[in-house]
Structure 1
């Protein structure tokens, strides 16, 4: 994921994670045998109408298709990241990519055609540099006295700051009108790329507040004067999916302690595409890296460092399956597809609820 000023605190505070209570209900679903394995950082996936599975091998800079005829790398860009992926019709797929080129940093939405040619659809990085939608948010410590702010370690920072200019298009979904919806993990916003390439802001996710406890302060070297004060983490959207109700659903992976008892954790939000209204659907997730939405409205959430997939429905959130470091989810063909063991022998498995 992106590393920004707020993420210096992420690394330090995550070290304070505690073991989850053993009373957590056991997950019952069992994964299938792998459809494919040996993947390098399968952080996103999509499933085409013909059953082809598209996986972004983010650590290798590859977009890979897994179909009846075997496994094929559709795009290979060593040194650049391929992240978000969405099936886009017979033999075509949309993906997001970012990295360094001869012309500097780039962050774009592209499409692979059935012919194998790659087309640019929108320059998300340029839009972020021009508009910077999350500049309306205030991150970092809120309201520390100057003397207290000076005592906070430099890598964390004691002063509040607005959203900075930085882009990391990490997820993508396709609307019926052909627009692409992109979750920008560094921009902390959701943007729309119209079929003509025009980009607009759909919504800015809210800051994620965390009240510093004495335990956390002592553990990461914060001065005592920060206890009881609020630190606003950046929300960091990790996936976007269109639900059967017409709302957009977004998973969020902010910084902070990994144990829910220590503060607010990853969340799932709904976004009204017409108004931009953002509402929290559920929270308290351990590293919510991805989600999928079934036709009945059930939301599945990948909790990477919780080593599980959970469900969100009218009855609340509960464990669905225990799997090693799940990264990406997709609902298709009556099954839940998931990438697991994201930092090892990455593979794609399925579940039939």
Structure 2
């Protein structure tokens, strides 16, 4: 993901600050969040939400990609029980704020024993930036640290001039292999304790991969933001076990997350659309994606980001995920049975 892309996000942030989000949408199941991103359910039906946070009280000079900002322990993982009870599952994770956008924990995988957390880009003094960490659920102790930035620095798998890491998503295969999307490196990695990080597939044309999920048959889907977030430039690739493209779904815009439901249906989040004045408020959507194109499932969303299937077969989506005031993030239920 290039510096030009980050500069575009800063312009987008400036535009968004001129717009105050409207009142909470229908079917909100939790609100008051700070930059909610990816989500996951555990076997007991608890919903976990990654909150990237709002930085902190320490000012930092930043780097070429991020500029100046503040850091602090405001990123966290929030848990919502099936009865609606809300609690903090993991507190005080490092967060960087460059203004209206928080950077911190962005996605996760929950197993019976572990929480795998993706912490996206940050400044050099920010602990665990550009990494995936494993926490023991019983003790909260870190049991694995996967340094995506170090691998990018040593190997630069997409072959571009930039050394840039920004992990954004993770998926766990049945055999225990982790699949990790590094958006900045334009690379999908695998990781096992035995083999460490391995390049599964890398893209040299900067398509900006953002998300990964498994189909019921074990094949993979990868979502792309699209270079420069250009309208229609986003896509989803369906990959076989060797990383070869089985099929491609194009003409999407700003895909930030995807989910393949238990029945094999493919859904995607489009973070925004563009109007005459640029990125339009409340223009994000969740769409069902097939060979015939994208069918809207929920429109009018303000900066949505994460998507997950509920235990009942519906969907949840995080909204007001970036470029809005602190505490305005939320998670909405999308009942598929009402379609």
Equivalent residue runs for 1:9-158 within 5 Å: 10=8, 33-60=27-54, 61-67=75-81, 68=83, 69-80=85-96, 81-89=104-112, 92-98=114-120, 99-100=122-123, 102=125, 106-114=129-137, 115-135=139-159
CA separation in 2, counterparts of 1:14 and 1:278?
A: 32
CA separation in 1, counterparts of 2:170 and 2:153?
A: 19
CA RMSD of the aligned region, Å?
2.7
Moved over 4 A (4+): 8-15, 101-106
Equivalent residue runs for 1:1-353 within 5 Å: 4-7=2-5, 10=8, 33-60=27-54, 61-67=75-81, 68=83, 69-80=85-96, 81-89=104-112, 92-98=114-120, 99-100=122-123, 102=125, 106-114=129-137, 115-135=139-159, 162-196=160-194, 198-205=196-203, 207=205, 234-256=206-228, 258-260=230-232, 265-272=233-240, 274-278=241-245, 281-306=248-273, 307-322=284-299, 323-333=301-311, 334-343=313-322, 344=324, 345-353=328-336
Q: Relative to structure 1, is the Cα distance of residues 14 and 66 closer, same or farther in structure 2, using a 3 angstrom cutoff?
A: closer
Q: Structure 1: which 5+ residue stretches go unaligned? A: 16-30, 136-161, 208-233
- TM-score by length of structure 1 reads 0.71
Q: Judge which range, 340-349 or 329-338, deviates more.
A: 340-349
CA separation in 2, counterparts of 1:127 and 1:75?
A: 27
Alpha-carbon shift at residue 107 of structure 1 (Å): 2.1
Residues 6, 255 of structure 1: 8 Å contact kept: no
The structure whose Rg is larger is 1
Q: Relative to structure 1, is the Cα distance of residues 35 and 104 closer, same or farther in structure 2, using a 3 angstrom cutoff?
A: closer
Deviations 1:177-236 (A, max 9, x none): 1121110010001001113461100101352xxxxxxxxxxxxxxxxxxxxxxxxxx211
Q: Relative to structure 1, is the Cα distance of residues 326 and 193 closer, same or farther in structure 2, using a 3 angstrom cutoff?
A: same
Q: Relative to structure 1, is the Cα distance of residues 166 and 279 closer, same or farther in structure 2, using a 3 angstrom cutoff?
A: farther
CA separation in 2, counterparts of 1:256 and 1:13?
A: 12
- TM-score by length of structure 2 reads 0.74
CA separation in 2, counterparts of 1:39 and 1:271?
A: 34
CA separation in 1, counterparts of 2:94 and 2:48?
A: 18
Q: Relative to structure 1, is the Cα distance of residues 35 and 118 closer, same or farther in structure 2, using a 3 angstrom cutoff?
A: farther
CA separation in 2, counterparts of 1:349 and 1:38?
A: 12
What is the total number of aligned residue pairs between the two structures? 278
Residues 171, 180 of structure 2: 8 Å contact kept: yes
Q: Structure 2: which 5+ residue stretches go unaligned? A: 14-24, 55-74, 97-103, 274-283
Residues 289, 328 of structure 1: 8 Å contact kept: yes
CA separation in 2, counterparts of 1:294 and 1:176?
A: 16
CA separation in 2, counterparts of 1:106 and 1:256?
A: 23
